[in-house]
Amino acid sequence: MKPKISTMHTKRLTIRPFKYEDINDVHEYASNPEITKYMLFGPNTYEDSMNFVHLIIDTWYKWLNGVYHRILLCSLYF
């Protein structure tokens, strides 16, 4: 069972969990050498970006379910 994950909105920003449909958007910035030149990754191949999104989604649902998820959300408010 997938946990219900909150989405947070402000006037300028929406924070939500990754979706598999985000792969193209992630790849757009993660493959750009100008954006990634000071990062610890990149520029990524499409496969790198796809693996990253899959890893984040899989990790979120496996490890961040339950107690850690609540701690993470509480830390955002304090």
From the number of C-beta atoms within 10 Å of its C-beta (0-12, 13-18, 19+), residue 30 rates as buried
Is 1 inside a domain boundary?
Answer: no
- Residues facing 4 on adjacent strands: none
Query: What's the total number of domains in the chain?
Result: 1
Q: How many CB atoms lie under 10 A from the CB of residue 27?
A: 20
Is 7 inside a domain boundary?
Answer: no
Predicted confidence at residue 2, as pLDDT, reads: 55
Is 60 inside a domain boundary?
Answer: yes
Is 65 inside a domain boundary?
Answer: yes
Is 52 inside a domain boundary?
Answer: yes
Range of the domain at 47: 21-36+43-77
DSSP state of 20: G
Both structure tokens of 50: 């796809």
Per-residue pLDDT of the chain (78 residues; tens, 9 = 90+): 455 667 888 899 888 888 899 999 999 999 999 999 999 988 999 999 999 999 988 887 776 665 455 555 555 554
Is 14 inside a domain boundary?
Answer: no
Q: How many CB atoms lie under 10 A from the CB of residue 49?
A: 23
